[in-house]
Structure 1
């Protein structure tokens, strides 16, 4: 029996942890890891095992009301420039800072809010001009839309300067950064909200309300994804400053962008609010697209020469997570295959099922098939949440991925102005973003399971569900 136990421990890697540390687990299937990558994965394993004693519970925390929310935008590219315009329409907002390393982006953002009563200061003096925004006493909320590597550094610095933070996805790309966001938000009592717009899409909000009201019975399984062919943009500097997205896909192999599909599933299941993520496994295909394309581009442009022999992320990553209540979640990531766009959004319960892609969203209450269009209209009439009834039509008019972006920004500002808890707090930002580095570890270790840490320090058992009833708040007007 002793011999069998040693063999078991050796197979699972547990013996290696106790005897020589977690580096023994880093036996990448293709053997192409660098020493730096091995070091990062070692830290990922260690950070996943951390047991945390919460300093202050940011879930359900209502910060003091801010009558006029003074916003500073950092990063004014594709997402940031559009966000500036959306927020400029909201009452009770003053856009006081616009920051980007490219002055032309600042000028373009300024032009989008001309005549709307905002008088921002411009910051474009260098790579660290963003610190001046965070230091400014005229800012309450720092809105971060930079490339991923700056998300956590800016968010941490801003909170330490007494600012609330709204940060694009993912909020962090390492486990260490996930933990730092949690600890800093708790210490400063400043909100760290991840800008996961898909949580505010119309079908996702409908199914969240249905789940909270018990329509699906007990949720058993969920599926989400980010399947989006953006291969061309990787090699277009006008769309990706300094080819940053290409670099991310060259340096990391896993589910790099999980939250679009994952976030709405987590909210419906009450993750961090009655249930928690326990452990996950992840598997990536080979890369069939990026390396050949990089070699092709290198023939035309020396800027891509360094990528000619690069080992890229696999086309498709599939990650599976098990929760404390025994539910399962499947999350996929593919941004380089010629496939139709999909976030999947599937919720499977003991009484009913919902699925969105292929469009439109459908509901089924048995194995016999989806409800009719007329039955769907009845479902929508009964379960459309208050936030959609109040702001949904206006959101569609003002735009942003069909209106979900505007709904997200309106809700963020309305919560700050009314002193309400955030729908997506720092624990969501950390646990949803953590799927990225955790998946990298599992992929590198032949899909072995890895624990998802409890960023709430055990408070998930009593944290309250997301409340979109608008029984409080809902007072922010819109200039149209």
Structure 2
């Protein structure tokens, strides 16, 4: 019997517009059925591209449509948990942009709803699917780094121009910086690292505790003063609660130390991905900018200098041997999609999980564990960097995987 395409609704048409071409590539697996957005102009633009789709400005009305099988939540971050829960209860599979939930209470509710409904929930953490992230994971799984002892991840990206509307009013990113103070966007930094040590997976590790510190808030006040004048509220001292740079230390049950850095308001060139890994038999350093390449050192394989010192070498040397199977299979489409190929592989994995009736690569337990860094970091900062335990959201994972 031929499998019918999954009928998908995109919620949040602005971010979703990046998937125009991608949806055409996988039309045999996923068919776009509807778009939901509060902006008439965005809905009109989608209608021009896909005349047959239905459009909604009301999310609740969309969920009442029985001809929609799944929703892709590309809506503002703080809406994700509630919209996911409502969609699951309405019988829809869910692909959610990051982060999955911004409170511990909603994280637990999301887990319970997935367990109760048995539907597919996946978080669209595209950084986990970049070619290099998958390759390092593939090498780690084969033990090339030995026992991993330390990792670091950073999301360092000047997004000051994306925190406001043209008139200077704040959008969701701006409201985030105005309201919260902590590790406010953790999963781009943490997601790939969690995959390298198989967090929440059988035989893998588990995140145990965090401690977070945040710098002073300086960049946005200066930016708004320059762009909108000294009388703008956002140019006033004390307006921005979020500091420019947040650093979180995470310790795993297995004793791995992880440091995370998020900074998307400081003035500097873009640094989309910053990662490092240290093991007992090898190490990895990501490129810091476009003029550099990724570096790796493997004991007994990497070259030795004339003076006997160990030498870094290009990661590219090992790509033919250790490129991840997903990239070998989907290299053409992935290389043409956004976020280093992650956008395509996220959508492909979501479709496969539904059609194969299995848990996705980034399931609800991964999603809420990584996302819980957001609320826990806020609490840690408020308590002067106090270490806090990370809940074991995956305690029922085995029972859930045994269903169906």
Whether these two folds match at TM > 0.5 is yes
* Structure 2 portions without partners, runs of 5+: 300-308
- RMSD (Å), alpha carbons: 2.5
> How far apart are the structure 1 equivalents of 2:400 and 2:279?
23
> How far apart are the structure 2 equivalents of 1:361 and 1:315?
27
| Aligned CA distance change for structure 1 residues 338 and 311 (closer, same or farther; 3 Å) | closer
Instruction: Please state if 1:384 is matched with 2:323.
Output: yes
Instruction: Please state if 1:360 is matched with 2:360.
Output: no
- The answer to which of 179-188 and 355-364 deviates more is 355-364
Instruction: Please state if 1:178 is matched with 2:178.
Output: no
> How far apart are the structure 2 equivalents of 1:335 and 1:377?
29
Shift of 1:411: 2.0
Q: For residue 94 of structure 1, what is the aligned residue in structure 2? A: 31
For residues 62-461 of structure 1, the aligned pairs below 5 Å read 67-77=4-14, 79-90=15-26, 91-113=28-50, 119-124=52-57, 129-237=58-166, 243-273=171-201, 274-297=204-227, 299=229, 304-305=232-233, 308=236, 309-342=238-271, 343-358=273-288, 359-366=292-299, 368-371=310-313, 373=314, 376-397=315-336, 399-457=337-395, 459=397
| Helix, strand or coil at the partner of 2:154 | strand
| Aligned CA distance change for structure 1 residues 306 and 350 (closer, same or farther; 3 Å) | closer
> How far apart are the structure 1 equivalents of 2:243 and 2:189?
19
Deviations 1:97-135 (A, max 9, x none): 111000111122233446xxxx211112xxxx1112222
Deviations 1:238-294 (A, max 9, x none): 9x9952211110100011001112100001111111211110100000011122333
> How far apart are the structure 2 equivalents of 1:252 and 1:171?
17
Any conservation in 1 of the 2:131–2:340 contact (CA below 8 Å)?
no
Shift of 1:436: 0.8
> How far apart are the structure 2 equivalents of 1:67 and 1:201?
29
Any conservation in 1 of the 2:177–2:240 contact (CA below 8 Å)?
no
| Aligned CA distance change for structure 1 residues 462 and 67 (closer, same or farther; 3 Å) | closer
* Structure 1 portions without partners, runs of 5+: 1-64, 465-480
> How far apart are the structure 1 equivalents of 2:226 and 2:358?
52
> How far apart are the structure 2 equivalents of 1:365 and 1:298?
52
Shift of 1:355: 1.8
Higher relative contact order structure (alpha carbons within 8 Å, sequence separation ≥ 6): 1
| Helix, strand or coil at the partner of 1:423 | coil
Q: For residue 28 of structure 1, what is the aligned residue in structure 2? A: none
- The answer to which of 417-426 and 286-295 deviates more is 286-295
Any conservation in 2 of the 1:272–1:461 contact (CA below 8 Å)?
no
Any conservation in 2 of the 1:85–1:112 contact (CA below 8 Å)?
no
| Helix, strand or coil at the partner of 2:394 | coil
> How far apart are the structure 2 equivalents of 1:461 and 1:369?
47
| Aligned CA distance change for structure 1 residues 458 and 162 (closer, same or farther; 3 Å) | closer
TM-score by length of 2: 0.89
Aligned residues: 384
| Aligned CA distance change for structure 1 residues 241 and 271 (closer, same or farther; 3 Å) | farther
> How far apart are the structure 2 equivalents of 1:200 and 1:237?
33
> How far apart are the structure 1 equivalents of 2:235 and 2:392?
37
- Structure with more strand by fraction: 2
| Aligned CA distance change for structure 1 residues 85 and 433 (closer, same or farther; 3 Å) | same
Any conservation in 2 of the 1:164–1:190 contact (CA below 8 Å)?
yes
TM-score by length of 1: 0.75
Shift of 1:307: 6.6
Any conservation in 2 of the 1:66–1:419 contact (CA below 8 Å)?
no
